[in-house]
Amino acid sequence: MKEIDKKIILKTEGLSKHYGGVKALDNADFTLQNGEHIAIVGDNGAGKSTFIRQITGVEIPTSGKIYFDGNLVNFKTPSDAKNAGIEAVYQNLALADDLDVPSNIFLGQEETYFNLGPFSFLNAKKMYDKSIEVLSKTGIKIPDINIAMSNMSGGQRQCVAISRSAGFASKLIIMDEPTAALGVQETEQVENIIKNLKDRGIPLIMISHNLRQVFDLVDKIWVFRQGKIVGSVDASTTNSNEVVSLITGIQQKVGEEASFI
Amino acid sequence: MNNFKANYKKLPPEFNIFLVLLGLALLFEILGWIFIGQSFVANKRRLIIMILQVSVIGIIAVGVTQVIIMAGIDLSGGSLVALSAIVAASLAQNSSYTKAVYPHLTDLPYIIPVLAGVACGLFAGFLSGNIIARTGIPPFIATLGMLVSARGASTWYNNGMPVSFLNDDFIALGQGVWPVVIFLSVAALFHILMRYTKYGKHTYAIGSNEEAARVAGINITRHKIIVYSIAGGLAGLAGVVTAARAMSAQAGMGMMYELDAIAAAVIGGTSLFGGRGRIAGTLFGVLILGVITSGFVFLRIDAYYQEMVKGAIIVGAVVVDQIRYKKKNTKDKDI
Ligand SMILES: Nc1ncnc2c1ncn2[C@@H]1O[C@H](COP(=O)(O)OP(=O)(O)O)[C@@H](O)[C@H]1O
Ligand SMILES: [Mg+2]
């Protein structure tokens, strides 16, 4: 990027990831405006999660460039991406099941009393209070946050994972299928958190299979198919038929109801 | 009934282990009166000897506990005891002895052999930690390698000869209540580290879900190296105490101590699957091993029975751990 567009928070050029012979992600050109909420949709195995893992430093791309917040970046580890202001909720809930809620929310970014490197003493009180605060915004009810995550329901776990990211995200938040395993009420709670992020002006990338949700929540829809980005459409001007055609690569008949899980 | 349940839940998790300890002591007490006509518990000397005997195992067990909480394992403890003991002893020799290992390095202040012994274990742990964290070789294999190599190194160090004629100030560390004081201080320090610091939190997190810890930004490689180094350092300290207590060191010292240390941790409630366990539990685990050993000696039962019972108790503790772990996992599935 020669002249950096201030409005663009994230841009990828020719981003690819190959696992052996499998081109899981192939030449992805992607842009995200500041404040924008977008959804990534596509069939299973389309490369959506792979795309996310390249941006968040969980994996290192085979080739291609990533620009974040105006700079060419080369994240080597997830903490590089975190330090740059990117927070992510991964598909396979990245929670430590034996730890309690505050420990999970603050994992890797603990509040401490004085800095003694790894031997810093934890400020448990502060982490407890802050956890209560971020969780209250989600509307989720967790009677006792000082018990291990393994004792909690799917919705409670997901809200903890999302609260963690939403609490720390400064520049970009990414969610990989945040409501895939949730019931109706729990899904609503997660959607509330997302709307709240929109109000705060924090850009979001969300992977979802739920087209109703996608149309409800985001500005723009990016469609992946077999490792490639096959289109991006404005949520306000497109319809589910068009999106489904892009996902499957098969033209829908006019008038036929789109059916896609 | 519900009330009982609620109160029971409030008790520290070590309560069950404490009951086992009491039960064993009671068993030996009863058997003592029946077969020997003596009390097992009401004998101060016996209790002191018992706790002295397990102090060295206890120091290793503290290091091993944090490794297991991190879902690792360390088999090298016993061999590191021998290596550190012999290295420390070689620097603690008396100038009146003409065949010292380092004739020019005799009568050194005791802090030098102590630090050398600890550093020796620390370095071995650092090596294992690097191998485990950087190559992905399973900890079982890496530390098994260290077990064999360190034992070899302790034989090589002084051509298989024992090292003795040690200075009094060094020997003092192994006498009286010193081993117990050292063990309890180490246990208290690590109890605090594991519960109240970032170090402990990250150790539990890695043991619970390494991938989650990684994406949370924890430097897994660095943390693993630190944890294994500390385990090695504590084994080194145990070696120093062993040499001081025996007033000499030789390559065969500390044989199978690693198994007793692992047993103490597991009996004390540390999960071999990682993520769960406490130093306080290990303390009770160590005491249980001590009671078994001294109880069998007290009843004048042959040592091999003792090994058999110990083995059965270890297997029992692991079975309990497995059942708990399965319960937890089936619960996760129906989410
Ligand atoms: N670590 C990996 N090793 C090998 N192949 C992988 C790996 N991760 C993903 N893949 C493959 O890459 C493709 C895209 O996967 P993924 O990004 O998980 O898809 P999606 O999230 O869109 O369902 C699939 O064919 C998948 O099997
Ligand atoms: Mg996926």
CB within 5 A of ion ligand 2: which residues? A 49, 91
At residue A2, does pLDDT exceed 50? no
Contacting residues of B for A108, CB less than 8 Å apart: 202, 213, 216-218
A24 within ligand 1 shell (Cβ under 6 A): yes
A208 within ligand 1 shell (Cβ under 6 A): no
Per-residue pLDDT band for A219 (boundaries 50, 70, 90) equals very high
What pLDDT, on a 0 to 100 scale, did the predictor assign at position A6? 65
Which residues of chain A approach chain B closer than 8 Å at the C-beta? Answer: 56, 58, 77-79, 82-83, 88, 90, 92-99, 103, 107-110, 112, 116, 118-122, 124, 150-151, 153-154, 157, 181
The minimum CA-CA distance between B185 and chain A, rounded to whole Å, is 17
What pLDDT, on a 0 to 100 scale, did the predictor assign at position A39? 96
Mean pLDDT computed over every residue of chain A: 89
Q: How far is the CA of A50 from the centre of ligand 2 (A)?
A: 7
Average pLDDT over residues B26-33: 93
Over the stretch B58-74, which tens digit does the pLDDT of each residue have? 999 999 999 999 999 99
Average pLDDT over residues B215-241: 96
- Main-chain phi, psi angles of A175, to 5 degrees: -130, 125
Q: How far apart are CA B121 and CA B238, in angstroms?
A: 9
Average pLDDT over residues A250-259: 57
What pLDDT, on a 0 to 100 scale, did the predictor assign at position B162? 93
The answer to whether the CB of B162 falls within 8 A of the CB of B248 is: yes
**Could you confirm whether domain A1-85+200-261 is CATH 3.40.50.300?**
yes
Q: How far is the CA of A18 from the centre of ligand 1 (A)?
A: 10
Say whether A62 sits in a helix, a strand or coil: coil
Per-residue pLDDT band for B331 (boundaries 50, 70, 90) equals very low
What pLDDT, on a 0 to 100 scale, did the predictor assign at position A3? 47
Q: How far apart are CA B263 and CA B321, in angstroms?
A: 12
The pLDDT > 70 percentage for chain A reads: 93
At residue B206, does pLDDT exceed 90? yes
**Contact (CB<8Å) B218/A107:** yes
At residue B287, does pLDDT exceed 80? yes
At residue B132, does pLDDT exceed 50? yes
**Closest residue in chain B to residue A94, using alpha carbons only:** B212
What is the interface pTM, i.e. ipTM, of the complex?
A: 0.85
Instruction: Say which DSSP state A175 is in.
Output: E
Name the pTM for this structure. Answer: 0.88
Q: Return the domain boundaries, chain A.
A: 1-85+200-261
A41 within ligand 1 shell (Cβ under 6 A): no
What pLDDT, on a 0 to 100 scale, did the predictor assign at position B330? 55
Instruction: Say which DSSP state B63 is in.
Output: H
Mean pLDDT computed over every residue of chain B: 91
**B100 residue type, one letter:** A
What pLDDT, on a 0 to 100 scale, did the predictor assign at position B4? 63
HEC profile for A198-245?
Answer: HHHCCCEEEECCCHHHHHHHCCEEEEEECCEEEEEEECCCCCHHHHHH
Average pLDDT over residues A210-226: 94
